[in-house]
Amino acid sequence: MSLLVLASGSASRRDLLDRLGLPFHHHSPDIDESPRDNETPRMLAERLSREKAYALAEHYPQHLIIGSDQVASLDNDLLGKPGSIDKTRQQLQRFSGRRVNFLTGLALLDTRRDHCATHVDLTCVDIRALSPQEIEGYIKKEPATDSAGGFYMERLGMALFDNIDTTDPSALIGLPLIALCRLLREAGVNPLLEQ
């Protein structure tokens, strides 16, 4: 039986975790993702990641539960998943020619000892100046209504960018693998040594 549980229904996060070659289960937690008063993007990303992991703790004792969440920020405004084509269009119009910050929270909950380690990764994305036709073309080909920022970096969304400034390219896709490997090693699981 796998020791690892990914607290997510995201196919992108599952694909990323698969890269480590470790067996895992995945289970989508049910939490309220609404921001709290005076909560910064960093605080929100960290809290949601932690809450996702803890939401599954009762179901997975003696496991390591991975929670992750991503928040986009522009001009100190929190920007979550657009949820509709119209809001996706509005976000992409607002991002055009701007630098957008993406904060990807990560939590590793060790239910064997009730210990939760967290990390927040900052990725800065310079969005090209986009024409209305490019925005419509992107939305038509890839309506990313369920992704923070309104695009999928791992797919056609790369065509929207001028530059990415990050210490971990996997973070923008939704799961910072460099930090995750460190947290796993600290919890006694080394992806390089596991059979």
List beta partners, residue 13: none
Over residues 78-118, the pLDDT tens digits come to 887 899 999 999 999 999 999 999 999 999 999 999 999 99
Q: How many residues does the chain have?
A: 195
Domains, the chain: 4-186 (3.90.950.10)
- Scan for tokens 């990725």, then name that residue: 123
The predicted model scores a pTM of 0.92
Over residues 55-79, the pLDDT tens digits come to 999 999 999 999 999 999 998 888 8
Rounded Cα distance, 58 and 80, in Å: 28
Q: Region 125-150: what's the mean pLDDT?
A: 93
The set of residues, in sequence order, having a beta carbon less than 8 Å from that of 138 and lying 6+ positions away, is 92, 130, 151, 156, 157, 159, 160
Over residues 18-49, the pLDDT tens digits come to 999 999 999 999 999 888 999 999 999 999 99
The set of residues, in sequence order, having a beta carbon less than 8 Å from that of 133 and lying 6+ positions away, is none
Query: Mind telling me the catalytic residues?
Result: 69
Q: Amino acid letter at 22? A: L
pLDDT of residue 85: 95
Give the rounded percent of residues in the chain with a pLDDT score beyond 70.
98
Longest dimension (CA), the chain: 53
Rounded Cα distance, 184 and 102, in Å: 23
For the CA atoms of 48, 51, 56, 57, what is the dihedral angle to 10 degrees?
140
Angle between helices 132-141 and 85-95 (to 10 degrees): 140
